[in-house]
Structure 1
Amino acid sequence: MTRTISAPPAQPATVGFEQHALRGPFNAAFFRVMDPYIERKLRPHKRRAFADLPAEVVELGPGVGANLRHLPRGATLIAMEPNRHMHARLRAAADRAGVRLDLRERLAESTGLADHSVDTVISSLVLCTVQDPDAVLAEVRRILRPGGTYRFVEHVAAPDGTPTRRVQRLLRRPWAWTFEGCSCERDLEGALRAAGFATVDVERYRIRTPFLPFNTQIAGVAVTRSGVDNAAWFVRHR
Structure 2
Amino acid sequence: MIDRTTTTQSATSFEPHGGRGRFNAAFFQVMGPYLEWNLRRLKRRVFAGLPREVVEIGPGVGANLRYLPADGALVAIEPNRYMHSRLHAAARRHGVQLDLRERTAEQTGLPDHSVDSVISSLVLCSVQDPVAVLTEIRRILRPGGTFRFVEHVVARSGTPTRAAQRILRRPWAWTFEGCSCERDLEHSVHAAGFASVTMDRYRVHTPFLPFNTHIAGTAKA
TM-score range, shorter chain: over 0.9
Instruction: Tell me how far apart the structure 2 counterparts of residues 223 and 97 of structure 1 sit (CA, whole Å).
Output: 27
Please, what TM-score do these two structures have when normalized by structure 2?
0.97
Instruction: Tell me how far apart the structure 2 counterparts of residues 132 and 117 of structure 1 sit (CA, whole Å).
Output: 22
Q: CA deviation at 1:7?
A: 3.6
Structure 2 equivalent of residue 200 of structure 1:
197
Structure 1 vs Structure 2: percent identity of aligned residues?
A: 70
Runs of 4+ in 1 over 4 A off after TM superposition: 8-12
Residue identity in the other structure for 1:31: F
Q: Deviations over 1:57-91 (max 9, x none)?
A: 00000000000000012111000000000000000
Structure 1 equivalent of residue 4 of structure 2:
6
From 81, 87, 100, the counterpart of 1:90: 87
Instruction: Tell me how far apart the structure 2 counterparts of residues 24 and 183 of structure 1 sit (CA, whole Å).
Output: 16
How many residues get paired? 221
Q: Secondary structure at the match of 2:124?
A: coil
Instruction: Tell me how far apart the structure 2 counterparts of residues 56 and 95 of structure 1 sit (CA, whole Å).
Output: 16
From 33, 38, 41, the counterpart of 1:41: 38
Q: Secondary structure at the match of 2:3?
A: coil
Structure 1 equivalent of residue 144 of structure 2:
147
Please, what TM-score do these two structures have when normalized by structure 1?
0.90
Q: CA deviation at 1:11?
A: 10
Q: Deviations over 1:153-187 (max 9, x none)?
A: 00000001111000000000000011110000111
Q: Deviations over 1:84-111 (max 9, x none)?
A: 0000000000000000000000100000
Q: Secondary structure at the match of 2:205?
A: coil
1:186 aligned onto 2:183: yes
The answer (yes or no) to whether the contact 2:55–2:115 under 8 Å persists in 1 is yes
Unaligned residue ranges in structure 2 (runs of 5+): none
Residue identity in the other structure for 1:112: G
The answer (yes or no) to whether the contact 1:12–1:105 under 8 Å persists in 2 is no
Q: Cα 1:190–1:10, aligned 2, differ >3 Å: closer, same or farther?
A: closer
